[in-house]
Structure 1
Amino acid sequence: MPEPGGSRHSRVRRWHVDGQPALEQVMHHRPGQEWAPHWHDEWSIGAVLAGRCRFSLGGRRHTASAGDLLAIAPGAVHTCGLDADEGGETQVVMVYADVPWLAALGVPMPRGSARAMRQTIAAEAQDLCDSAGAAAWLRHAAATLADSAALLPAGAEPAGRAAQQVLAALQRAAVGDGTVAIDALARDCALSREHFHRIATRWLGISPGDYVRAARMARARRLLLDGWPIAQAAQACGFADQAHLTRWFSRHFGYTPGALAQAAHASPDSRVPQATAH
């Protein structure tokens, strides 16, 4: 539960294995907090401890309540919003884990994004205070979410040449600096801007502009984790300045670029299990 008068931003910290980052924990606690469409390169495994979490995944709306476990697959575009319970509390804990580390450690993961009501396991997320405990909890939660009954409905694969062209164009734009214009992408696909927008929204669940912005956010996050100064990361990703990046970054991830940089480069105070294949 957040302290009275505490930060309106989520709290983030990262843990290391052999000096390299392996796990990230984020604690969300502000009722009414909303996230713009975004995705993570890592697996996101979390628990709702209090309140309710509304989220959209691939254009489909879902709700997770206190006692629910959640898994969001890498690259899955999603939005999120938090509602308080009757006591006015909201608390969601998310643990993010790199895909190669999980694979090497042999952690069983769901086939896709998933949700399951497991109150006991969810409650244990409140007490994660070191990397070993976080890794053990993640393994337990992931195994539970790997049950096929927990899988959330997946969107259909894009059908038709036009849909495949649109998504391919957006994916190419996503690896650039984020300055490409949607009009130019539509012209490259020999489509009107309106037709391009309709196709993208149907298959992605968000507009082309939101998708490209989310790609810029994902790239900015990677650069910050690689040690780039915030101002340089902002410039590289097509933002006017550091303040511009900070506003959008907070809307996408719930915490500031400065908080992530501080967590990423803090001295590791504990270890997680070594990623050796079983």
Structure 2
Amino acid sequence: MQHDWSRYWRSPDRPIEAMHAHFEQHVYHRHSHETYSFGMTETGAQSFTCRGGAHTSAAGMVMAFNPEDPHDGHATNPLGFTYRMVHIGPDLVSNALADATGHPTGLPLFTAPVLDDPALAGALRALHAALLGDATALRRDELLTATIAGIVRRAATTPIGRPGEPSRSTRVARQTRQLLHDRLTDDLTMDDLARSTGTSRYAVYRAFRTEYGLPPSDYQRQLRLRTARTLIADGTPIGEAAVSTGFADQSHLTRWFTRYFGLTPGAYRQAVTPGQPRSR
């Protein structure tokens, strides 16, 4: 009987990460990534909610998430699912799509989070295998560029960005987001958020959830987890990373880290810094 497992890889010098996992019991908490996230389901099926709808990615299907697209995820049935996911930073996507003169062409927007496209699934699998395998740097770059171009050509719609001035609601959401970034470890209240934006607590909550798909408290926790993940990858002891990012202790960080990222902080550190001790 197969049990939950996950393997992770992180580029030491570029914003690329890759995950290969099988889950039967694990349930992802609703979260988002700073990156574009492209994946393919190898076996079984996984169900998730994204952009206000329920979706299922069965074997051979492709998933495409924009940066900051909130989503969750779990096995569709008790047999579980196996999938490969590649996370690519927006700047790297922009560079891969630059025109012949080297000028960026803008960032793509994916409106369908699930695609039934065998060609794209094959390209993603090849890219993922190269990242986790022993392919040369040149081969990895070729596959990365070709895969990004292919998925944009076949699945993207309009560029990201809204014309004109942002609405009052959008400005409130962005101001709130900046406060959460600036005061990462502070125990902020809704009154703090309301005062900083000059509006009511309900208006802040509604504006933020409309803009980012998460309540401010979930975004705050996610931001702390992302920061802790960076610290851990840079060699900070897990307990120290927990306290410095606002978690009560290492076990508190571990519980939430696993719910968001699908592996423990210790397993993540071992994956991205081979040779490091498993606990510290």
Q: What interval of TM-score do these two structures reach, taking the shorter chain for normalisation?
A: 0.7 to 0.9
Q: Is the alpha carbon distance of 1:32 and 1:5 closer, same or farther for their aligned partners in structure 2, counting shifts above 3 Å? A: closer
Q: Alpha-carbon deviation of 1:142?
A: 2.1
Select the residue among 229, 235, 245 that pairs with 1:227: 235
Structure 1 unaligned spans of 5+: 268-278
Tell me whether 1:117 sits opposite 2:116 in the alignment. Answer: yes
> Which residue number in structure 1 is paired with residue 133 of structure 2?
130
Q: Alpha-carbon deviation of 1:241?
A: 0.5
Select the residue among 21, 27, 45 that pairs with 1:28: 21
Q: Is the alpha carbon distance of 1:13 and 1:5 closer, same or farther for their aligned partners in structure 2, counting shifts above 3 Å? A: same
Select the residue among 167, 171, 179 that pairs with 1:160: 167
Match of 1:65, as an amino acid?
A
Distance 2:5 2:206 in 1: 34
Tell me whether 1:12 sits opposite 2:8 in the alignment. Answer: yes
1:62-211 to structure 2, matched below 5 A, reads 62-74=55-67, 76-84=68-76, 88-101=79-92, 111-113=108-110, 115-123=114-122, 125=125, 128=129, 129-130=132-133, 132=135, 137-147=143-153, 149-151=155-157, 160-179=167-186, 180-211=188-219
Match of 1:25, as an amino acid?
A
Match of 1:80, as an amino acid?
D
Q: Is the alpha carbon distance of 1:198 and 1:102 closer, same or farther for their aligned partners in structure 2, counting shifts above 3 Å? A: closer
**Which stretch of the first structure deviates more once superposed, 102-111 or 253-262?**
102-111
3-state SS of paired residue (2:63)? strand
Alpha-carbon displacement from aligned partner over 1:187-224 (angstroms, at most 9, x marks no partner): 32233323322222222222121111111122222222
Alpha-carbon displacement from aligned partner over 1:79-104 (angstroms, at most 9, x marks no partner): 2213346x924111112234455555
Distance 1:77 1:249 in 2: 18
Tell me whether 1:213 sits opposite 2:221 in the alignment. Answer: yes
Select the residue among 36, 40, 56 that pairs with 1:47: 40
Structure 2 unaligned spans of 5+: 100-105, 276-280
Match of 1:119, as an amino acid?
P
The 8 Å contact of residues 21 and 264 in structure 1, kept in 2 or not, is answered as no
> Which residue number in structure 1 is paired with residue 269 of structure 2?
261
Structure having greater relative contact order (Cα 8 Å, sep ≥ 6): 1
> Which residue number in structure 1 is paired with residue 102 of structure 2?
none
Q: TM-score, normalised by structure 1?
A: 0.76
**Which stretch of the first structure deviates more once superposed, 97-106 or 169-178?**
97-106
Distance 1:131 1:201 in 2: 42
Alpha-carbon displacement from aligned partner over 1:254-275 (angstroms, at most 9, x marks no partner): 11111111112127xxxxxxxx
The 8 Å contact of residues 45 and 142 in structure 1, kept in 2 or not, is answered as no
The 8 Å contact of residues 174 and 216 in structure 1, kept in 2 or not, is answered as no
**Which stretch of the first structure deviates more once superposed, 114-123 or 206-215?**
114-123
The 8 Å contact of residues 108 and 158 in structure 2, kept in 1 or not, is answered as no
Q: Alpha-carbon deviation of 1:152?
A: 9.0
Q: Is the alpha carbon distance of 1:136 and 1:171 closer, same or farther for their aligned partners in structure 2, counting shifts above 3 Å? A: same
3-state SS of paired residue (1:238)? coil
3-state SS of paired residue (1:146)? helix
Percent identity between matched residues is 29
3-state SS of paired residue (1:232)? helix
Q: How many residues align?
A: 258
Q: Is the alpha carbon distance of 1:29 and 1:152 closer, same or farther for their aligned partners in structure 2, counting shifts above 3 Å? A: farther
> Which residue number in structure 2 is paired with residue 273 of structure 1?
none
> Which residue number in structure 2 is paired with residue 276 of structure 1?
none
